[in-house]
C-alpha cells in the first residue's frame, strides 16, 4: 500500500489545521500538505522530532519525551542556509521549516511541498515520530489546556485516521 500519514491540529483557542504526508509510490518523494489556520502570528518553525509522544505524559512535547529534530544522518545544522533558502538536502530530514520556510508572522499557511528526503518507509522514515510546531521564540511547551496549536505536537503513524495533537 502507499504510505500516508496525517497530523490534525485541533486546539481550544480556534487554531486548527493539519499537516498531511503522503507518497504516490513507495520510495517516491513525500508530498507535504500544510493547512494551518488562526496561528495568530505565534507559530515559528515546525519539525519532525525523533520520538513519538508518550501517552499520559505531563509535558508530552518536552525534549526529554520527544528529543530533538529527526536527524538520522547527523547533518551539521551550522551548514544549513537560512530557512526556506536552500535545497532539501541541506537540512535535517525532519526540518520542514528549514526546507520550506517558517510560519513566523503568519495567521495561516496553505501550502504543498515535495520532499524526496523525508521518507515514509525504510530506515529513515518519519513514521512513528512526532510533529512539533514551535512558538516564534523556539519554545515547544505551554499549558496543558492546548490553547494554541503553536507548541503542540502530534504522532505520525501509518493510518488514515487522524491523531489529535
Residue-wise pLDDT for 46-69, tens only, equals 888 887 777 676 776 777 777 888
- CATH number of the domain bearing residue 12: 2.60.40.200
Considering only residues 25 and 145, tell me which one the structure prediction assigns the higher pLDDT. 25
Residue whose C-alpha is closest to residue 88's, from 22, 128, 29: 29
CA–CA separation, 49 and 129 (whole Å): 6
- Tens digit of pLDDT for each residue in 65-101? 778 889 999 999 999 999 999 999 999 999 999 999 9
Domain with 105 in it: 4-164
Indicate if the pLDDT at residue 102 is higher than 90. yes
pLDDT at 111: 95
Rounded to the nearest integer, the mean pLDDT of the chain is 75
Q: Which residues contact 98 (CB under 8 A, 6 or more apart)?
A: 45, 47, 77, 80, 83, 84, 86, 91, 92
pLDDT at 2: 60
pLDDT at 41: 83
Spacing of C-alpha 56 from chain mean position? 21
Number of domains, the chain: 1
Indicate if the pLDDT at residue 40 is higher than 60. yes
- Mean pLDDT (whole number) for 14-36: 83
Percent of the chain with pLDDT over 90: 30
- Tens digit of pLDDT for each residue in 127-146? 878 888 877 767 653 222 12
Cβ neighbours around 153 below 10 Å, total? 27
Residue whose C-alpha is closest to residue 161's, from 20, 11, 16, 53: 20
- Mean pLDDT (whole number) for 7-18: 59
**Predicted model pTM:** 0.80
Residue 12 grid coordinates: 481550544
pLDDT at 8: 55
Question: Where do the H-state alpha helices sit in 7-157?
Answer: 63-66, 96-100
Amino acid at each position: 500500500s502507499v504510505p500516508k500519514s496525517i497530523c490534525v491540529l485541533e486546539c481550544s483557542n480556534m487554531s486548527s489545521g493539519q499537516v498531511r504526508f503522503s507518497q504516490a509510490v513507495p520510495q517516491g518523494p513525500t508530498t507535504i500538505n500544510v493547512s494551518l489556520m488562526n496561528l495568530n502570528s505565534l507559530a515559528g518553525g515546525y519539525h519532525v522530532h525523533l520520538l513519538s509522544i508518550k501517552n499520559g505524559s505531563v509535558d508530552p512535547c518536552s525534549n526529554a519525551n520527544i528529543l530533538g529534530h529527526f536527524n538520522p544522518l547527523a547533518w551539521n545544522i551550522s551548514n544549513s542556509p537560512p530557512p526556506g533558502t536552500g535545497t532539501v538536502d541541506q537540512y535535517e530530514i525532519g526540518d520542514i521549516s528549514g526546507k520550506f520556510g517558517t510560519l513566523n508572522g503568519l495567521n495561516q499557511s496553505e501550502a504543498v511541498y515535495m520532499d524526496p528526503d523525508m521518507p515514509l518507509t525504510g530506515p529513515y522514515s518519519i513514521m512513528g515520530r512526532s510533529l512539533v510546531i514551535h512558538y516564534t521564540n523556539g519554545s515547544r511547551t505551554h499549558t496543558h489546556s492546548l490553547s494554541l496549536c503553536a507548541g503542540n505536537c502530534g504522532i505520525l503513524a501509518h493510518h488514515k485516521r487522524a491523531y489529535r495533537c
